[in-house]
Chain A
């Protein structure tokens, strides 16, 4: 059974803006799924409809086989949402935020207290349970929202940019927590602007642009389609001009730094051989950019401009 099935989902706002133009999407049970797209692409509208915060114009959403219109309670009980913005009552204590949320899901008080303790301990917030939430740091507030979303033990957790604006240390600890939650059997849908995050956490990916699904595939499959890697080489000695090497695009970006576009079929060995022959000594090398970022930009840019992407394009899957 799919954790989420969306069929022909459309949303036109009152001002006539068509945010979603007939999206079809399936997310498998147990998946860690990335839903990406540039700002204004329709991600938040899609998540809003799935979580009942936005009314759809047409189409259907089903969560673990329960139609959101016809089996509303069952569908909603399966879902937990961590929104982009802090949306709990900032005058409530951490514990009461979770207890209230459990109450909204019909969880009896005794069980709610147990679940609250469990979730706060998992998010490393138990010591802060009696703190008024507005006194928490930004990272803690994010963790409160994750704990709140998990208090009714949802089978599907939607995380809408959960790590936006938090420092790298907190981000890494949140990645670990998300992976643990997923390993415990919860299906996760993640939206993020940190593509490194999506690449390292998610197994499958969909990209929305201008209200349409432009990609829906596995992360490994998508990355495999990238046929050019970009590297930055740090040199031992300064150069006056970029060396010319057949089959590689090389650019001098500082007197001791080269940007090199490396076709996958050629690899790095011929490049280093040629550089050695030209007495150019490389002291270090790194990827110029995140690989997914490169694909993402290609997909979104080429779609908008009606161009061909620089990787091997494939049609979106049958649900796209």
Chain B
């Protein structure tokens, strides 16, 4: 069987879904990030000066873009797949000859597309406040895609395991948001006391934000190779775990 057809069907369905509800999916990040740039970057940033040789506005732009990519790739998959499960539409896929890896690839690709599209929207908004020049195109694009992949997978696992709508908001609110804010989006970890620097190094989002920042403006607090290895490692682990859950039918069968 040609699996590209079911894969494309899931992907197009997902893209159509988030574009159809663009006031919920694409507009809010444009408004909230414009406010970040205005308040943090412009009003407060002018008083902060430079970090690692970059103006504060230039410093926060990569982090804000990647934070949007993270939250929207996650949100897309968790809400779409959980709704599919909740309304029993998932049965359409389970009855059909669609392998688990195609289901996973379709939904995760949908999450990546939304994450990247929101990233482009936020990057466009940031150009109103800062001159965006990409220093390392390949690093910038690859870390954005890998980050979107990782958090789409995380959203997929959350949706599989969730048994209520509350359960799909717990991780974004109580895990993702704190990790993002503490992931060096608005500051350099070098500014923290030693103990908090060590603790921050346990936050995977810190590595992704810094790798993306390095790609955009050439400034980083962490080793770029380590950032790629860590992101890739998490992707492999989460892919295998997602496939295991699908194979067992966790949350979708019985």
8 Å CB contact of B97 from A54, A89, A106, A148:
A106
Known: A83-B91, A88-B89. A55 touches B96 (CB 8 A): no
In the bound assembly, the distance between CA atoms of A104 and B10 in angstroms comes to: 8
Q: Complex: how many Å from CA A52 to CA B253?
A: 8
Q: Please state if B254 and A101 are interface contacts (CB–CB under 8 Å).
A: no
Within 8 A of B (CB), among A30-77: 51-55, 72-74, 76-77
Q: A105 and B254 in contact (CB under 8 A), knowing A87-B91, A89-B87, A89-B89?
A: no
From the candidates B1, B89, B254, name the one contacting A87 in the complex (CB within 8 A): B89
A54–B249 alpha-carbon span in the complex (Å): 8
Q: In whole angstroms, how far apart are the Cα atoms of A319 and B39 in the complex?
A: 75
Q: Kindly state whether residue A272 has any CB partner on chain B within 8 Å.
A: no
Please measure, in the bound complex, the distance between the C-alpha atom of A72 and the C-alpha atom of B98, giving whole angstroms.
10
Query: For the complex, what is the distance from the CA of A74 to the CA of B89, rounded to whole Å?
Result: 22
Which residues in chain B, 1-48, are within 8 Å of chain A measured between CB atoms? 1-3, 5-6, 8-10, 13
Task: Answer whether A100 and B95 are a contact pair too, CB < 8 Å, given A89-B87, A106-B5.
Answer: no
In the complex, which residues of chain B have a beta carbon less than 8 angstroms from the beta carbon of A148? 92
Name the residue in A53, A54, A90, A107 with the highest tally of chain B Cβ atoms < 10 Å from its Cβ: A53
Which residues of chain A from 104 to 119 have any CB-CB distance to chain B below 8 Å in the complex?
A: 104-108
Inter-subunit contact A106/B2 (CB<8 Å):
yes
Chain A residues lying within 8 Å of B84, measured Cβ to Cβ, are 89
Interface assignment of B135: CB less than 8 Å from any CB of chain A: no
Chain A CB within 10 Å — which of B9, B93, B94 has the most?
Answer: B9
Chain B residue at minimum C-beta to C-beta distance from A104? B96
- The closest CB in chain A to the CB of B3 belongs to A106
- Does A264 have its Cβ within 8 Å of any Cβ on chain B? no
Q: In chain B between 59 and 101, which residues have their CB closer than 8 angstroms to a CB of chain A? A: 84, 87-89, 91-98
A311, chain B: closest CB distance, angstroms:
37
Chain A neighbourhood of B96, CB < 8 A:
76, 101, 104-105, 152
For A106, list chain B residues within 8 Å (CB).
1-3, 5-6, 97
- In Å, the complex CA distance between A85 and B88 comes to 9
Interface of A is mostly: loop
B1 lies within 8 A of A14 (CB): no
Residues in A132-170 with C-beta less than 8 Å from chain B = 148, 152
88-132 of chain A: CB within 8 A of chain B: 88-90, 100-101, 103-108
B133 smallest CB distance to A (angstroms): 41
Task: Confirm or deny: A194 has a beta carbon within 8 angstroms of a beta carbon on chain B.
Answer: no
What is the 8 Å Cβ interface bit string for chain B, positions 239-254, against chain A (1 contact, 0 not)? Answer: 0000000000100011
- The CA of A89 and the CA of B13, in the complex, are separated in Å by 11
**Contact of A101 with B92 in the complex, beta carbons under 8 Å:** yes
Chain B nearest CB, measured from A136 CB (Å): 15
Instruction: Note all chain A residues with C-beta closer than 8 A to B13.
Output: 100
Give the complex CA separation of A77 and B1 in angstroms: 10
Closest-by-CB residue of B relative to A107 is B5
Question: Does A233 sit at the interface, judged by CB under 8 A?
Answer: no
**Do A73 and B97 have beta carbons less than 8 Å apart?**
yes
**Which listed residue (A52, A73, A74, A107) contacts B94, Cβ 8 A?**
A52
Is B5 touching A53 in the complex (CB atoms < 8 A)? no
Q: Is the CB of A53 within 8 A of B1?
A: no
Of A73, A88, A89, A101, which contacts B1 at CB under 8 A? A73
Contact B254 A103 (CB under 8 A): no
Expressed in whole angstroms, the Cα–Cα distance for A104 and B103 within the complex equals 10
Chain B residues with Cβ below 8 Å from A52 are 94-95
Most buried by A among B2, B89, B95, B253: B95
Q: Is A81 located at the chain interface by the 8 A CB criterion?
A: yes
Known contacts A14-B254, A100-B9; is-contact A79 B95 (Cβ 8 Å): yes
Within 8 A of B (CB), among A209-241: none
**Chain A residues within an 8 Å CB radius of B253:** 53-55
- Which B residues touch A74, using CB under 8 A? 97
Least CB distance from B249 to A in Å reads: 5
B94 to chain A: closest CB distance in Å? Answer: 5
B172 CB to closest chain A CB, in angstroms?
23
CB distance from A61 to the nearest CB of B (A): 13
- Judge whether B87 and A90 touch: CB under 8 Å: yes
The minimal Cβ–Cβ distance linking B80 to chain A, given in whole angstroms, is 10
Task: Closest B residue to A81 by CB, please name it.
Answer: B95
Q: Is the Cβ of A55 less than 8 Å from the Cβ of B9?
A: no
Distance (whole angstroms) from the CB of A150 to the closest CB of chain B = 13
| Minimal beta-carbon separation of B119 from chain A (angstroms) | 26
Closest to A77 in B: B97
Q: Which residues of chain B are within 8 angstroms of A85 by Cβ–Cβ distance?
A: 88
- Apart from A87-B92, A103-B5, A105-B6, what are 17 other A-B pairs with CB-CB below 8 Å? A55-B254, A74-B97, A76-B95, A81-B95, A85-B88, A87-B87, A87-B89, A100-B9, A101-B92, A101-B96, A103-B6, A103-B9, A104-B98, A105-B97, A106-B6, A106-B97, A108-B5
**Would you list the 7 A-B pairs with minimal beta carbon distance, nearest first?**
A103-B9, A104-B96, A87-B88, A73-B97, A76-B97, A106-B5, A106-B1
Q: Could you write out 24 A-B pairs with CB less than 8 Å apart?
A: A51-B94, A51-B95, A53-B91, A72-B97, A73-B1, A76-B95, A76-B96, A76-B97, A83-B88, A83-B91, A87-B91, A88-B92, A90-B87, A100-B9, A100-B92, A101-B96, A103-B8, A104-B6, A104-B92, A104-B98, A105-B6, A105-B97, A106-B1, A106-B2
